[in-house]
A and B are shown apart, each in its own frame.
Chain A
Amino acid sequence: MIKIKYIIVMALIAAVVLSTACIAPKQEKTEVKVIYAGSLIIPFEEMEEAFESAHPDVDVLLEGHGSIQAIRHITEIHEEYDVLAVADDSLVPDMMYPEYADWYVRFATNQMVIAYTNKSAYADEINESNWYNILARPEVTFGFSNPMFDACGYRTLMVVPLAELYYENATIFDELIGRNFDPAIPMIKENGVYTVVAPEVFEPHGDKIAVRGGSVQLLALLEYGGIDYAFEYKSVAQQHDLRYVELPSEIDLRSPDYSETYNKAKVTLGFQRFTSVGVERIGRPIFYGITVPKNAPNPELGQEFVNFVLSEEGQSVLLRANQPRIPPEADNVNALPEDLRTVVTQEIKERPGEE
């Protein structure tokens, strides 16, 4: 009988031990969810690795999207992220203030270039002053991303009209873009402003131009020789070891000194893809913005990640990834979390779009 009791007691102990093992929470890492613009893929993958090495108990989860779509995941689809980084900083106040954010930090910039490979037609001839002539040659093909889905796409439709202004050549837009669509894409010149009106379905006719949803497809096309040239961000061209033509500052959207010039290029998109954002895009210098959404599940870690991006180590990551950096500036500096105020001391003087 003692033996039976012993077995029962041992079985009970085993059951308690087993159930405790099943119920007891595992030592799981804390997740930091980061949603960011697709053009930051390479630097942010490295940022993830470096941040996790410095925080072994943290798992950074990255999710890349177009900038507007990234914000919509928070504001309209109501998903929760700890950090948001976008390729057009003006979107943060426009789409997130005041409910989902009340500050952001400008931390990086970029510039439009024309990327190509050694296999591209006239690769050894193209330069800053003849690129639009080369691209217009009948046998040359080029591509850009769809302005409906990618900021780099509507920025291309700004670069080309600005080229008309800069080179004083009124045929550049029509030769490169307008006439390659059916019906031709119009560009309206009114009061010194060049407005490109994109059609609902942005599909060129013929093989001269390739329009793709985003950089991913465009780079693949360029790398295997499907096109000769592509309008891209300089950082993306460098990250993929592509050759590129730098464009004059007056048209490449890199310099705040030419804000007024950039403002002369406007794009009206074919349809309002998002209820929360209108169809007009106005030329502005390219600035990346980063923030911690108000509904972040781990705001402290989110702030720590932003702090890391702005730190010396984070800046080295950006530098290694060829992502042009700028001294960080905050919008609404008074709302910045305490620990970021020591890193970001400058305030954005003029919010994009403000007169």
Chain B
Amino acid sequence: MKEDSKVLGLLLVIAVVCVGVIAAVAYMHPFVAPEERIDWNLTLISSEGDEKVLTFDEIKAIPSHEGYGGFFTTGGIVNGPFKCKGVPLKDLCELVGGIDASNTVWVSASDGYLMAFGYDQVNGNFRTFDPTTFKEVPHEDLTLILTYEQDGAPLSDYDGRPLRIVIVSGRDDYITEGHNWVKWVDEIEVRTPASTNTS
């Protein structure tokens, strides 16, 4: 009987020591998931048809803009608001010669979706809506950005990983129309009405 309790006691001590060692190791060397490398190219096309290709890392190296934004779908489903970080679309256009009032900017995605933005929209001219009543409400300055980070983390595939067009401002109490929030962006083209470039 005595032998049994000795063995049991020893096992208990060993178990406690093991748990302690594991806890100490975990504390000293916390597990940090390595940042996943994102292999994605964005093609910028000027109104003259010149192309410039940026990698995901190159896009992240451009000075960023942060703000809040949310959107609603045709069916009235509200998403967000999210805190988004990315590069203003206008700044990306500057990399291929910029835009003027005669241009439109076509943003294409890998799933075959395309949205055309006018000059005013590239400069943040959008309507904003109350997320409950969908009544139009006034807003602060809006910025159209190509985001790569939502609520402090890279975009999920569902949210358009790795690059998505979003509309942000300094406030989180209004939303914009969802068709502008292009997911999986892989090409941005500056066009003039006479442009015959095809994407």
Q: A31–B49 Cα gap in the complex (Å)? A: 48
CB atoms of B134 and A203 under 8 A apart:
no
A217 in contact with B111 given A41-B75, A64-B75 (CB within 8 Å): no
Instruction: Enumerate chain B residues within 8 angstroms of A273, measured Cβ to Cβ.
Output: 113-115
Q: A215–B8 Cα gap in the complex (Å)? A: 73
A216 in contact with B76 given A1-B1, A1-B4, A201-B121 (CB within 8 Å): yes
Instruction: Enumerate chain A residues within 8 angstroms of B114, measured Cβ to Cβ.
Output: 271-275
CB proximity of A129 to chain B, nearest CB, Å? 33
CB atoms of A224 and B121 under 8 A apart:
no
CB atoms of A221 and B74 under 8 A apart:
no
Instruction: Enumerate chain B residues within 8 angstroms of A274, measured Cβ to Cβ.
Output: 112-114
CB atoms of B118 and A201 under 8 A apart:
yes
Within 8 A of B (CB), among A214-262: 214-217, 219-221, 224, 226
CB atoms of A149 and B179 under 8 A apart:
yes
A33 within 8 A of B: no
CB atoms of A63 and B179 under 8 A apart:
no
Within 8 A of B (CB), among A255-289: 270-276
Q: A350–B150 Cα gap in the complex (Å)? A: 48
CB proximity of A251 to chain B, nearest CB, Å? 25
B66 within 8 A of A: no
A66 within 8 A of B: yes
Q: A216–B134 Cα gap in the complex (Å)? A: 7
A93 within 8 A of B: no
Q: A65–B177 Cα gap in the complex (Å)? A: 12
CB atoms of A213 and B76 under 8 A apart:
no
B129 within 8 A of A: yes
CB atoms of A4 and B5 under 8 A apart:
yes
CB atoms of B135 and A220 under 8 A apart:
yes
CB atoms of B136 and A226 under 8 A apart:
yes
Could you pull out 10 A-B pairs where Cβ atoms are within 8 angstroms? A1-B5, A36-B75, A38-B74, A76-B113, A200-B104, A200-B118, A217-B129, A221-B136, A226-B136, A274-B112
Enumerate chain A interface residues (CB-CB to B < 8 A).
1, 4, 36, 38, 41, 63-66, 69, 72, 76-77, 148-150, 200-201, 203, 212-217, 219-221, 224, 226, 270-276
Per CB-CB distance, the 3 closest pairs between chain A and chain B, nearest first, are A64-B75, A275-B112, A201-B118
